[in-house]
Structures are given as structure tokens and as C-alpha cells.
Amino acid sequence: MRPDLAELKAQQLRLAARVSLEDAVDPLKVRYVGGGDLTFMNIWKTPTTGLGAFVVLDLLTGEVVDRTVVEDVVDFPYIPTFLAYRELPLLVKAYRSLKVKPEVSLIDGQGIAHPRKMGIAAHFGVYLGVPSVGVAKSRLVGEYEEPPPYGTSLLYLNGEHIGWVLRKGRGKSLLFISPGHKVSVKTSLDIVRRILQKKLPLPTRLAHNLLQEERRKRAGKRS
């Protein structure tokens, strides 16, 4: 049965009213930053088996101090702007299984850069009551100017500054960064920049790599 999207939109708007863009962390003092990501054993099938991963990076040592992969059945279909209803349960399950909890969680997806300001990173932060930041590989909403190599530009929605567009190198690859919860727009960028300036991989990338490794293991067992 197709989800009641009108009810889910209303729920997103109610949750968006609870988002705080006041900093609960100091980006210069944060030590443990987590990264969450999700993949599916069969992306074209619903229900399907989903894998959720979280990796926690120590910014002082550059070492991974905790990582986890969890599995569960995902039965909510992929519907644009409702990604959290498909992926959030597994991300929360992965986060809760960590022994070392991050001070800030980066989520592979949007924060407030969303039509109703309730992307998966914002949903994650509000649901758990923790600081979160959305780090997406593509734009969902907003206008921006192309950033220069290794530079940033501002992301606007209806005239409001909601995030950043960061070019990590000289290529075409961009990151769309927006606060999720308990993090300001400025701090959302500061945290990501601090990681990159230390020449460390983003925890979201580490979570992605961990998931691909897990998929290969499972595919090998089935062959």
C-alpha cells in the first residue's frame, strides 16, 4: 500500500519546527565525528535487505575508533524527499550499536536543504536529539554559484542561506553541506572543512567503503 504522503509531509513540517540551528558543539573542539550511510542488497526491490553503517573518526589521531554494520528488512519504497522513512530506521540502529558515540554525526544526505527542511540528516538529529550535518553528493533544492577549485559557495533556498556547496578539488565533484540539528549553518561547513584540512577521509566516505566491503563479502558467500 502506498504511504500517505500528505500525512508524512505534515509530520516533516512538525519535526522541522523542532530543528535547532544553535551550536551544541564547538567545531574546533570536536574530537569524535561519525559518518552514517546505507545500501541495499537489491535497490530495485521493495521489501529488500538493507545494510546500515556508522564509522567514528578520531580527529586528533586520524584513526577509526569504532565502526558497525547492521542489517534489516527495508519495506518503505524510495520516494524523493521522503528518504528518511526508508533509511532512518537502519541508520538509528547502526548508531545505537556504536560503543563510541560521536559528538557530531555526518549523514550521507540532506540536512535542512530540503523542501520542508527535513532531510534525512535533520530527521536523524531531531529523532535522536544529537548534533547532525547533512553531506550530500547532489543538490535536492536551492540555488548556488559554481564554487572554485577547493572552494565553497553559498546554498540558498527562497533567499535564505541554508548550506554550502564545496568543491574538494579541481574536478566536477561537489558536496552539498547543510546543518541537520543542533549545528549552525556556519559550523556545518567548519566541521567538514576541519576534517578535509587534516587530509582525513570524511566519515561518510568511510561508512560507504565499509558497506561496499560488506556487500562483497556477502556476494562471495552466495556464489
Q: What is the pLDDT of residues 86-131, one digit of tens each?
A: 999 999 999 999 999 999 999 999 999 999 999 999 999 999 999 9
| Nearest alpha-carbon partner for 153 in 164, 143, 142 | 164
Residue 170's pLDDT band (cuts 50, 70, 90)? confident
What SS3 class is residue 173?
Answer: coil
- For the entire predicted model, the pTM comes to 0.95
The percent of residues in the chain predicted with pLDDT above 90, rounded, is 90
What are the C-alpha distances in Å from 31 to residues 65, 66, 175, 194, 207? 11, 13, 22, 11, 18
In sequence order, which residues have a C-beta less than 8 Å from that of residue 160 and are 6 or more positions away?
none
pLDDT at 222 (0 to 100): 61
Interval 50-67: pLDDT, tens: 999 999 999 999 999 999
Q: Are 53 and 37 in contact (CB under 8 A)?
A: yes
pLDDT at residue 2 is higher than 90: no
Select the more confidently predicted residue: 156 or 43: 156
Q: Where are the domains of the chain?
A: 30-222
Question: What's the rounded Cα separation, in Å, for the pair 114 and 139?
Answer: 9
Interval 143-169: pLDDT, tens: 999 999 999 999 999 999 999 999 988
Q: Are 30 and 59 in contact (CB under 8 A)?
A: yes
For 30-222, CATH number? Answer: 3.30.2170.10
Question: What's the rounded Cα separation, in Å, for the pair 64 and 34?
Answer: 10
